[in-house]
Amino acid sequence: MKVVLFCGGLGTRLREHSDVIPKPLVNIGYRPIIWHLMRYYAHFGHKDFVLCLGYRGDMIREYFLNYNECLSNDFVMSEGGRKIELIKSDIQDWRITFVDTGLHSNLGQRLLRVREYLKDEPMFMVNYADALTDLPLDEHIEKIKASNAIGGFVAVRTSQSFHSVQSDEAGWVSSIGRIKDTDFWVNGGYFVFKQDIFNYIEEGDELVEEPFNRLVEQRQLYVNRYTGFWQQMDTFREKILYDRMEARGDCPWMLHRK
């Protein structure tokens, strides 16, 4: 099953890094978050990727064109460095299609622009490129298939420290508490679609707005609630959180290491 990844956003909330490099190339340890995400999919056998490029897409192309497996894999060096033998490889059997989908395109239009690369796929996966998880992907896919819906995704509890507030029309607060302690779920991505999804996307549509609402009206959108690890990297604070987890060796998204 092919995997479409949205890699073209401006990353305005992570300007400490995204003014210099696109957000998918912001590192966690030795590798950028896009690599960690692709490695997650590859762990479940999905190694055919379509990257929807936009802002600084040239840098994403260059990263893979100049990819050095020795930075994250064990290897043996001999003959004064003239001979390198990798003990294991990570992307040797990956297939990656790089597609310029526009600098300012929204997600719906980016997906439409890679439709031709998905025409032989009865079902395919789509995702943002800035959130990692330890979601059992094979089980996730099977749940969506069993629902017979046109599309499905994962819903997660937000880790944000915002507070949920309820009040009456006069402004008197009736309750307040942390959002993560309420029954509040957010769209966590990890979409799985049938080809029929393209019948619901019109020119100019944002993916999770008009098309998804059309699916909801016809009871064709399924959600899989997941309470395990899921964490986005949308801000500098979240980048630091990932760095600290990686430094401790606490990396639940690295299922290939388990």
The pLDDT of residue 192 is 97
pTM of the entire structure?
Answer: 0.86
The pLDDT of residue 47 is 96
Residue 72 pLDDT exceeds 50: yes
Q: Which of 11-15, 47-51, 176-180, 239-243 has the lowest mean pLDDT?
A: 11-15
The per-residue pLDDT for range 85-135, each reduced to its tens digit, is: 888 777 888 999 999 998 888 999 999 999 999 999 999 999 999 999 999
The pLDDT of residue 85 is 86
**145, exposed or middle or buried, with CB in 10 Å at 0-12, 13-18, 19+?**
middle
Percentage of residues of the chain with pLDDT beyond 90: 59
Mean of the per-residue pLDDT values for the chain?
Answer: 88
H helices of the chain, where?
Answer: 15-18, 33-43, 57-65, 107-113, 137-147, 210-217, 236-248
Higher pLDDT, 20 or 151: 151
CA atoms of 237 and 21, how far apart (whole Å): 17
The pLDDT of residue 12 is 47
Q: Three-class SS of residue 155?
A: strand
Q: Which residue has the tokens 């393209």?
A: 198
Write down all domains in the chain, each with its CATH number in brackets.
3-74+84-257 (3.90.550.10)
The pLDDT of residue 116 is 95
Residue 18 pLDDT exceeds 60: no
If pLDDT is split at 50, 70 and 90, which confidence band does 200 have?
Answer: very high
Residue 17 pLDDT exceeds 60: no
Mean pLDDT of 244-250: 92
Higher pLDDT, 112 or 82: 112
Longest CA span, the chain? 79
Mean pLDDT of 215-228: 94
